[in-house]
Structure 1
Amino acid sequence: MMLLLHNAGVAIGPPHILIVPGRTSGEPRPTPVSIVSLDGDRYVVAGRRMSWVKNVRAAGAGSIQRGRRLEPVRFTEMEPHERGPVLRAYWHQHSQGRKIAAQIFEAGPDASADDFAEAAPRCAVFRLDPLTDEPAA
């Protein structure tokens, strides 16, 4: 339902739609995600068993959609020691998704911000960088 509403141009709730080519089919694969903002950067997070993570790793780039706005992005996977602050920020920024995220991150049903940060080795965190046609400096 969320994908249908987003495709119709109706942006609801905090989730955005991550669109990345499938690693075997090459077909666009849409997935609802919540974006975490930290120190001027944006991130998406996932548990280690989320299937879209393999597609993101294989493609390296895709798009983030919010309503009708489509933004091409590059995905940079963060090292385990860099993930904790992002996961802690997720806990603070997305209170409505904490219980589900705690299950996905294997952090326990009453997980705190510290528990989310400690789940870093069991999670994937990708920084979203705008994809432009400008050459890198």
Structure 2
Amino acid sequence: MTEKTTNARYLRPGRIVRLLRFDAIVSFLVRRGFDVWGARVLSVRGRKSGEPRKTPVNLLTIDGVQYLVAPRGHTQWVRNLRAAGEGELSVGKRVERFTAEELPDEVKPPILRAYLKRWAFEVGAFFDGVNAKSTDAELLAAGPSHPIFRVTTAV
């Protein structure tokens, strides 16, 4: 998929989140091998710099298929992953290389529902009132604001 620029939703971390450095804390723990509720450190090549960029993400697995969901919208990691098409997910010293396929909006509702069921306590505020009990139509309407990638790891 090409980079989406028109009406691309992106919610920056709030002041308190930036001050508390929540992402940095989660990254620190995950890099040391702690499983923080399914979190991984995503490493993807920067689309402009070419340098590896790292951020914590929640890896969702449904029926053996893995997904990365962007609760804050069209973030830098989303834009970088679109450009690179591949990356690495790590917990401690375990690193898995993967390829990513961005999903079309019409297949997102069940994935968003599962994601919100698991992580609503952490990311629910970024979904404008949509939650795991929302209708398929409401989840479908939220889809364009939340990119989702199917993750295929190399074996």
* Fold match by TM threshold 0.5: yes
Matched, 1:117 2:139: yes
Matched, 1:127 2:146: no
Match in the other structure for 2:42: 18
* Dislocated runs of 4+, deviation >6 Å: none
Match in the other structure for 2:94: 69
Structure 1 distance, partners of 2:52, 2:108, is 27
Q: CA deviation at 1:87?
A: 0.4
Q: CA deviation at 1:66?
A: 1.4
TM-score (norm 1): 0.80
Structure 1 distance, partners of 2:148, 2:119, is 15
TM-score (norm 2): 0.72
Aligned residues: 126
Residue aligned with 2:49, SS: coil
% identity of equivalent residues: 34
Q: CA deviation at 1:39?
A: 2.4
Q: Is the 1:10–1:68 Cα contact (8 Å) retained in structure 2?
A: no
Give, as a single letter, the amino acid of the residue that structure 2 aligns with 1:69. Answer: R
**Of 69, 78, 83, which residue of structure 1 is paired with 2:103?**
78
Q: Is the 1:18–1:31 Cα contact (8 Å) retained in structure 2?
A: yes
Residue aligned with 1:5, SS: helix
Match in the other structure for 2:5: none
Q: Is the 2:74–2:145 Cα contact (8 Å) retained in structure 1?
A: no
User: What are the Cα deviations for residues 87-134 of structure 1, in whole angstroms up to 9, with x where unaligned?
Assistant: 00101222432xxx23333x22xx3212672311211000110124xx
**Of 114, 122, 125, which residue of structure 2 is paired with 1:103?**
125
Structure 2 distance, partners of 1:29, 1:11, is 21
Match in the other structure for 1:45: 69
Structure 2 distance, partners of 1:90, 1:41, is 13
Give, as a single letter, the amino acid of the residue that structure 1 aligns with 2:85. Answer: G
Give, as a single letter, the amino acid of the residue that structure 2 aligns with 1:84. Answer: P
Give, as a single letter, the amino acid of the residue that structure 1 aligns with 2:146. Answer: C
